Amino acid sequence: MSDDLRQSSGSTSQSSGASTTGTGTIYNAEQICGCPQPGPETIEVEQVLGAEMKQKVVEFDMFVPAPKPDIEQIVDVYVKDVEIDTVDVIPNKVIIRGDLEVKVMYVADLPNQPVHAFEKRNVRFTRDIEIEGAEPGMDANADVTVEYVDYDFHRHHDRRKVHITVVLKFWARVMTTTEMDVYALGPVTEVGQIEYTSANGFVSSSSGLFGGDSVSASQTGGGEIAGYGPENMFVTGTENMTVTGPGISPTAGTMMGVSGTATINGSSVNIRTGPGTNFPVVTKVNKGATVTIKEQAFGWYKVVLADGNTGWVASWLVETAGVPSAPKG
């Protein structure tokens, strides 16, 4: 017992009808600070029942609309506005439904080789992910990123058709709520950053050439992009855009997922096997350490450490350089 909780000889104190004479120890904290004694308080705690990752391949054909000319060469294919519409829980599974938009930019088969673009909206996708123990009525959320974009165009077979392939990566997790008794042990003496997991889902990527969120085939390794045409190219149609310069360098979107470097800004930060506090800790890194970011989900980054090992770190515990910030998941 610390000395500041003791009273010295010869004094008499009274509190709530009780008195002590001589040297003694007060065990009631309320008598010293005027605050109630610590007691149990019941709170609701959100826990992650399970989290899993799966891929989905979306394939479909796109056709040049009637007013536009035939295709001479594909410039690039852009996937944008990837959105999750619904996340439903059935026994032991999560069902994710959503849609995306694809734009094709091409050189027209005309003497002056103008550049045109056409699009396909509301391309639907559905992905089921098994999570053991999931039951209807439980809270669930999901995250999606474009992992790969590719296209097939055969000008000698059909100059108005492009076959599109999009690979999507999904993360899903199911949350449960439990009641827990907690005790207030004392005042907070230090404020710092912590890692935590909440139930807010999000879809993330960066603004691109066509507006909105986009990822292109040239950036994910798909397609066969080559130089072409005169120096000044014009995009016709409702987009009403002008692209100038020696050829066109597609700049829409970002590399698949995210990439870049980051610096750890917390002390002894946990590196985990997955994007959430329910995943085991594999190691810890100190403040100032540099990591390479490979992808993100639920507000967490998958990183490569200096020793080559990989793991997940809470995005609010790092400072990024040239990487789109991930909202807290």
pLDDT of residue 255: 38
Whole-model pTM? 0.60
Compute how many other C-beta atoms are within 10 angstroms of the C-beta atom of residue 188.
Answer: 6
Beta partners for 244?
none
Cβ-proximal residues to 160 (8 Å cutoff; 6+ apart), any chain? 63, 64, 70, 71
Domains and CATH numbers, the chain: 3-37 (no CATH), 47-243 (no CATH), 260-321 (2.30.30.40)
pLDDT of residue 100: 95
d(CA 78, CA 182): 51
Residues 251, 252, 257: CA angle, nearest 5 degrees = 110
Q: Look up residue 327 and give its two tokens.
A: 């909202």
Q: Classify the phi-psi angles of 322: left when phi > 0, otherwise alpha if psi is within -120 to 50, otherwise beta.
A: left
Q: How far is CA 140 from CA 129, 219, 317, in A?
A: 11, 31, 24
pLDDT of residue 220: 62
> pLDDT per residue over 37-81, tens digit each?
666 788 877 788 888 999 999 999 999 999 899 999 999 999 988
pLDDT of residue 219: 64
d(CA 126, CA 308): 35
Over its C-alpha atoms, the chain yields an Rg (Å, rounded) of 29
d(CA 145, CA 26): 60
Q: How far is CA 67 from CA 116, 163, 241, in A?
A: 11, 20, 17
Q: Look up residue 41 and give its two tokens.
A: 């308080």
Residues 25/6, Cβ–Cβ less than 8 Å: yes
> pLDDT per residue over 223-240, tens digit each?
654 433 333 333 333 333
Q: How far is CA 255 from CA 83, 205, 237, 241, 310, in A?
A: 18, 9, 27, 23, 19
pLDDT of residue 41: 81
Per-residue pLDDT tens, the chain, 329 aa: give them: 333 333 333 433 443 444 344 444 445 544 555 555 666 788 877 788 888 999 999 999 999 999 899 999 999 999 988 999 999 999 999 999 999 999 999 999 999 889 999 999 999 999 999 999 999 999 999 999 898 999 999 888 899 999 999 999 999 999 888 877 777 665 555 555 555 444 443 333 333 344 445 666 666 666 654 433 333 333 333 333 333 333 333 333 333 455 688 899 888 899 998 888 878 899 999 999 999 988 888 888 899 999 999 999 988 889 886 555 554 45
Going through 217-309 in order, the beta strands assigned E by DSSP cover 233-236, 241-243, 260-264, 269-272, 281-285, 290-297, 300-304
pLDDT of residue 199: 40
pLDDT of residue 224: 54
Which one, of 119, 206, 216, 210, lies nearest residue 166 by Cα?
Answer: 216
pLDDT of residue 239: 34
Q: Look up residue 315 and give its two tokens.
A: 């995005």
